[in-house]
Amino acid sequence: MSLSFTPDPDRPLAALAPKRRRVLVTGAAGNIGSYFCEHAHRRYDLRLMVMGNEKRIEQIRPFGEVVTADLSNLDRLKELCRGIDTVLHLAANADPSTVWNDLLQNNIVGTYNVMVAAKAAGCRRVIYASSIHAVSGYPADVQVKTSEAVNPGDLYGVSKCFGEALGRYMAEREALSVIAVRIGAFGPPEHVAKEGGHAMLDMFVSQRDLHQMFEKCIDVENLRWAVFHAVSNNRFKRLDITDARELIGYQPQDDAAQINPNLRALHFLDYHHTASQRDKWQKSGLREQL
């Protein structure tokens, strides 16, 4: 069977070693980054990378060293990676309808620069924020496992597949540990509780569950490469989380159907809207070229 992870051959699996590590967070002022900073600053020493014009900069300033950089500036990224143990790479254009030119600069070139900078600076690990969109092309009734081939549903997903492939190359050939985390529909519980919450039924990941995933990916010592799926403990799971449970002890706490009781009565295939179906009303990023 094809494995979605590569262990360190000299150590047993799933050995977590919580330490006060130095962590560089790119995209630190975004929705995911700002939550991580607020809840991780007591556990890690954080360097918070922003572009400089984000609304949440003052909000995150108490949680670490705020620095400005652009993903296109490799030399600056190398400078910011010095002395860092782990890079949590969240910065990207996250709109699934993003057109190619924007994806090329932010999600392709930017991801390459971050991983190269981390390697050049001697970082131990990069945690790469991938997405459910890397596999959203599978039919709605398929639960995707990490060992299955990527199948993007849009160009944004294609850019995430690139990041995963580059991460594996860096891990296997350049000795930089990389863990790719495919993030589902991220948000607070109230996003699921409100009307229309059924759209997140099978791919919801709560703030605290994704935060737990990131901490476990930072702390694990003995994985050279892995892909993990980040969804909560939903009754229906578009992404299989078995690997994350077994290898790093991921124990998600939330369930979309428990947060929104109205979801319990829904028939899964009749009501849920998977990422693979969104292209019916959402541009994929390719349309400008057609």
The ranges assigned to domains in the chain are 20-289
- Find residue 5's DSSP bridge partners: 226
Q: What string of pLDDT tens digits covers the 290 residues of the chain?
A: 356 666 665 454 556 777 899 999 999 999 999 999 999 999 999 999 999 888 999 999 999 999 999 999 999 999 999 999 999 999 999 999 999 999 999 999 999 999 999 999 999 999 999 999 999 999 988 999 999 999 999 999 999 999 999 999 999 999 999 999 999 999 887 777 665 556 667 889 999 999 999 999 999 998 999 999 999 998 889 999 999 999 999 999 988 777 666 655 555 444 444 444 544 445 677 666 77
What is the token pair recorded at 137?
A: 């092309």
Q: In what order do the strands lie in the sheet with 5-7?
A: 5-7, 223-230, 177-183, 125-131, 86-89, 22-26, 45-50, 65-68
Query: Residue 272 corresponds to which amino acid?
Result: H
For 20-289, the fitting CATH number among 3.40.50.10800, 3.40.50.720, 3.40.50.300, 3.40.50.970 is 3.40.50.720
Determine the pLDDT at residue 265: 56
Which one, of 86, 142, 156, 141, lies nearest residue 115 by Cα? 86
**Whole-number pLDDT of residue 154:** 95
What is the DSSP code string of the chain? Answer: ---SEEE-TTS-SS-B-----EEEEETTTSHHHHHHHHHHTTTSEEEEEE-S--TTHHHHGGGSEEEE--TT-HHHHHHHHTT-SEEEE--S---TT--HHHHIIIIIIHHHHHHHHHHHTT-SEEEEEEEGGGSTTS-TT-PBPTTSPP--SSHHHHHHHHHHHHHHHHHHHH--EEEEEEE-EEE-HHHHHSTTGGGGTTTEEEHHHHHHHHHHHHHB-SEEEEEEEE--S-SS-SB--HHHHHHH-------HHHHSGGGGGS-HHHH---GGGGGGTS--S-GGG-
Strand partners, 179: 127, 226
What pLDDT score does 13 carry?
A: 59
Q: What is the pLDDT of residue 272?
A: 47
- pTM of model > 0.85: yes
